[in-house]
Amino acid sequence: MIKETVVDGFGNAPHRSLYHALGLTQEELSRPLIGIVSSYNEIVPGHMNLDKITEAVKLGVAMAGGTPIVFPAIAVCDGIAMGHTGMKYSLVTRDLIADSTESMVLAHGFDGLVMIPNCDKNVPGLLMAAARLNIPSIFVSGGPMLAGRVDGRKTSLSSMFEAVGSYSAGKIDADKLLEYELKTCPTCGSCSGMYTANSMNCLTEVLGMGLKGNGTIPAVYSARIELAKHAGMQIMELVRKNIRPLDIMTADAFHNALTADMALGCSTNSMLHLPAIANECGVDFSLDLANEISEVTPNLCHLAPAGRTYMEDLNEAGGVYAVLKELTKKGLIKTDALTCTGKTVGENIADCDNLDPETIRPIDNPYTATGGIAVLRGNLAPDGCVVKRAAVAPEMLVHEGPARVFNSEEETIKVIYEGGIKAGDVVVIRYEGPAGGPGMREMLSPTSAIAGMGLDKEVALITDGRFSGATRGASIGHVSPEAANGGMIAYVKDGDIISINIPEYKIELKVSDEEIERRKAEMPILKKQVSGYLKRYASMVSSADKGAIINKK
């Protein structure tokens, strides 16, 4: 127990005096100290309810014989940060969250941890910290937002961004845009589609680090408070049995996570976060594994933005466990993997059934026979790039067209809104990678504008940046190597023909080797002037295919 080195024994009397200064009693100090890592704040809609979740967790811990102590983790709202400099500070917080949590835990002597994240970078950041610290840990998220409704149809944040594109194209008026603004995000919680936050909260269940319903019970449901109490109680069981994150997050657990990812149609950001978490766990993770698993894993869910079902529908259909149960029918899940329940995956899902075959397709009637994410390779991306093929229109799975090249998101969105992108174009946005951005911004504004203008079935977008889980269409991100590191994407010119073949996992720049060599000699790599944390981050971060991790050399 870590507490033994900080709290117990006569030599730690000065430390105990400071715990008493906090109002802790002798009785409380004699119990296991449980750190409650709360991402509560008043700026992220997915986090505004985490004070209630935190109080419920504390009650659960105390009921089960532990002493709960809360400390914070930061959070950036990707939606609010979208489309401006703020997005440079989204992905980079993942490592700040992991590092600060490590610092707090090792400085203060906790015996176990309950992690309370919800939105995009908090979940992977805290999973990375849990693996690094390897003391008993459990996760309970704040839960997803309920879908909005406009004209009798459910909506989500992607609907709002696309409405901006529709307005700029003259397809809707200002009154309709305002209606979307007021009705799209009706409650607290992580945005209501299968975006990054919900993807990662669902995958936390699959990895075995969260209880049933962690990814799907809506934020405003009282069942979410009950789940938090149970998480608080369950951490005490994990402490007593000394079940640790590295006992749970094994190679089998990551196999299950990738498999569920393909079935659920998760955000492409999972292809950044799973490698980063696996790295902390000491588990080998290659992007090639994604295609291997995708080839045998059917896509069972088309949640928004891929379709018209939402997280609340997945919850009613039986949630993540029902998806796992479907996947076991073809032997695709490692059912012996241990979980935070103290039981195996197989034991957890034994009594779980698919309650809605429209939301979760039966495994013998999938949307597609292959998974929701694909990794493409070719001369444009020799180390790989990623696309959410479950959200790509069938007619765009194979596409060839002329490049329209931009060196930033801002340049791109200006031209899109001016009507400068035509059917058949392949929009290329470079110098937005982990080091080149820096920070690897999400390109939701350009993709949503294209979709809102009705061009998502005719225009592809390629970037060394990344995409929000709210993105749909032939949006290909994480191009590696990135432009700032001399990747081929740095040498693309307007009019170059780019060939995309998602079923065959190929992406090609149709320019001769001789011409490419000439361009490398003539076209300098752009260097951005940055300062502060971004400068330090840019100097240390790995390429996207390695998970954009901070290099430890």
- As annotated, the active-site residues are 468
Distance of alpha carbon 18 from alpha carbon 41, whole angstroms: 27
Angle at the Cα of 425 from the Cα atoms of 423 and 428, rounded to 5 degrees: 145
Q: Report DSSP letters for 446-468, one per residue.
A: HHHHHHHTT-TTT-EEEESSB--
Contact partners, residue 353, CB within 8 Å, separation at least 6: 318, 322, 325
Token output for 204: 């936390």
How big is the chain by its Cα radius of gyration, in Å? 23
Measure Cα distances from 257 to 91, 294, 333, 510 in Å.
21, 12, 9, 35
Q: What's the longest Cα–Cα distance across the chain?
A: 76
Residue pair 476/430 in contact (Cβ under 8 Å)? The answer is no
What is the sign, positive or negative, of the torsion defined by CA atoms of 124, 194, 92, 71?
negative
Number of other CB atoms surrounding residue 112 within 10 Å:
30
Token output for 259: 């498999």
Torsions phi, psi for 224 (to 5 deg):
-65, -40
Residue with tokens 């050399």: 553
Contact partners, residue 100, CB within 8 Å, separation at least 6: 73, 74
Distance of alpha carbon 470 from alpha carbon 156, whole angstroms: 9
Residue with tokens 């026979």: 369
Number of other CB atoms surrounding residue 6 within 10 Å:
18
> At 277, is the secondary structure helix, strand, or coil?
helix
Contact partners, residue 153, CB within 8 Å, separation at least 6: 308
Q: What's the full length of the chain, in residues?
A: 553
Measure Cα distances from 313 to 186, 307, 317, 328, 508 in Å.
16, 12, 6, 21, 39
Residue pair 250/183 in contact (Cβ under 8 Å)? The answer is no
Token output for 423: 């059917």
